[in-house]
């Protein structure tokens, strides 16, 4: 397929979803500007809406190189002038380069993989030292998160035109293929038995979409239709389980492919991560899930769990999630333990005891970065 705006492709299926995405794309740069750190080279961990005597204000908290790489990838889809407006005179390429330098000694495989990806895609730069570290992690035999492994594969595909990434690509794909469940669902850590027994069978939504994206891109790059079919299988299962109002549920059982825990429903899954992975799959020659993408986007406005608005026009943000009214992550723990004993088991009355409807008034910069990256044209055509 030739590169063009994904909103145009989506419009052919559902014009309302495409129109809503267009509105979100106009808000995202403003929200990203609010999350920029004072040095202009990185991004906060989160931007939180807080109340006080003077009214509601935004509070910027922490910093996160993962999010900086993701934000840079999204901002790279904007014009140079627009990038400088958001980044206080810098460009997305400068943020990507700074992030690559920042993670040289990082012990976080995900941050290193994202830095390789962003620096290669935006700057055409091959971070050989960082690629070497990815090789070491993959060949070392230690457990790795599914998300991090997927980012390594995607980084290898993106950087392959600049230098040798075959070892990362092959080892990363092999690890993913070895641990996909029979119904297409991936666990949270590879291998899953490295986790506690009550959690080993559980994989979250991110553990599904990033492998879909990675395997779709790897298949298009390598000409391996079998890898594409693995991605198709995962996409088909999460789409089969999608909620009636478009909810992308949170936790899945890698053994039988069922939903372990539905909440929270995360906004970024609806407007960015789901569309990003499913479009990558479609453009690589995989199945067409634009109807499910449209339904997922529509949840941002329909969301029957809460009367509160999730899109903040005032701040240029999309609030993070609609979750249960619960202490900590009680429902997740209960459902994980229950399904560990018997797949598909549910504790009666849990939805009444811990009902959904609590909106989390924070937004992390990666959410808006992935929104731009998912929907705007740019980068390489992987189809």
The pTM (predicted TM-score) of the whole model is 0.91
Does an H or E element contain 57, and which?
strand 55-61
For every one of its 383 residues, what pLDDT tens digit does the chain have, with 9 covering 90 and above?
Answer: 444 689 999 999 999 999 999 999 999 999 999 999 998 889 999 999 998 888 889 999 999 999 999 999 999 999 999 999 999 999 999 999 999 999 999 999 999 999 999 999 999 999 999 999 999 999 988 999 999 999 999 999 999 999 999 999 999 999 999 999 999 999 999 999 877 676 789 999 999 999 999 999 999 999 999 999 999 999 999 999 999 999 999 999 999 999 999 889 999 999 999 999 999 999 999 999 999 999 999 999 999 998 899 999 999 999 999 976 545 665 445 554 565 556 765 656 656 665 666 899 999 999 999 999 999 987 433 32
What tokens were used for 329? 């992550």
Nearby residues of 196 by Cβ (< 8 Å), 6 or more positions away: none
Round to whole Å and give the CA distance between 68 and 65. 5
Round to whole Å and give the CA distance between 86 and 322. 28
Encode pLDDT of 64-116 as tens digits: 999 999 999 999 999 999 999 999 999 999 999 999 999 999 999 999 999 99
Length of the chain: 383
Inter-residue contact 288 to 282 (CB < 8 Å): yes
CA-based nearest residue to 72, from 119, 5, 21: 119
CA 326: distance to chain centroid? 25
Round to whole Å and give the CA distance between 30 and 381. 27
Q: 349: burial class by Cβ within 10 Å (0-12, 13-18, 19+)? A: exposed
């Amino acid at each position: 397929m030739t590169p063009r705006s994904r909103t145009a492709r989506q419009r052919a299926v559902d014009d309302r979803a495409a129109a809503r995405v267009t509105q979100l794309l106009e808000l995202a740069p403003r929200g990203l500007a609010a999350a920029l750190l004072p040095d202009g080279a990185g991004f906060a961990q989160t931007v939180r809406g807080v109340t006080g005597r003077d009214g509601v204000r935004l509070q910027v908290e922490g910093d996160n190189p993962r999010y900086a790489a993701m934000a840079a990838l999204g901002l790279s889809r904007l014009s140079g002038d627009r990038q400088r407006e958001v980044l206080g005179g810098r460009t997305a390429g400068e943020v990507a380069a700074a992030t690559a330098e920042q993670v040289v000694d990082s012990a976080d495989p995900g941050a290193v993989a994202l830095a390789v990806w962003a620096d290669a895609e935006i700057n055409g730069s091959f971070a050989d030292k960082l690629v070497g570290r990815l090789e070491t992690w993959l060949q070392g035999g230690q457990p790795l998160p599914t998300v991090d492994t997927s980012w390594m594969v995607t980084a290898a595909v993106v950087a392959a035109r600049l230098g040798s990434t075959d070892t990362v690509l092959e080892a990363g794909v092999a690890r993913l293929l070895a641990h996909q469940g029979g119904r297409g669902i991936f666990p949270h850590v590879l291998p899953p038995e490295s986790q506690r027994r009550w959690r080993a069978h559980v994989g979250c939504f991110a553990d599904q979409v990033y492998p879909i994206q990675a395997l779709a891109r790897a298949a298009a790059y390598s000409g391996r239709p079998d890898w594409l079919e693995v991605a198709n299988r995962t996409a088909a299962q999460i789409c089969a389980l999608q909620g009636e109002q478009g909810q992308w549920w949170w936790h899945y059982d890698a053994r039988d492919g069922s939903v372990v825990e539905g909440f929270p429903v995360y906004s970024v899954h609806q407007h960015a991560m789901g569309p990003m992975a499913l479009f990558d799959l479609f453009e690589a020659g995989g199945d067409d899930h634009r109807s499910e993408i449209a339904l997922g986007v529509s949840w941002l406005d329909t969301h029957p769990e809460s009367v509160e608005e999730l899109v903040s026009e005032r701040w240029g943000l999309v609030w993070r999630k609609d979750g249960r009214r619960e202490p900590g992550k009680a429902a997740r723990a209960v459902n994980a333990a229950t399904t560990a004993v018997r797949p598909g088991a549910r504790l009666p009355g849990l939805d009444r005891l811990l009902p959904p409807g609590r909106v989390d008034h924070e937004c992390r910069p990666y959410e808006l970065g992935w929104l731009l990256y998912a929907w705007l044209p740019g980068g390489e055509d992987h189809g």
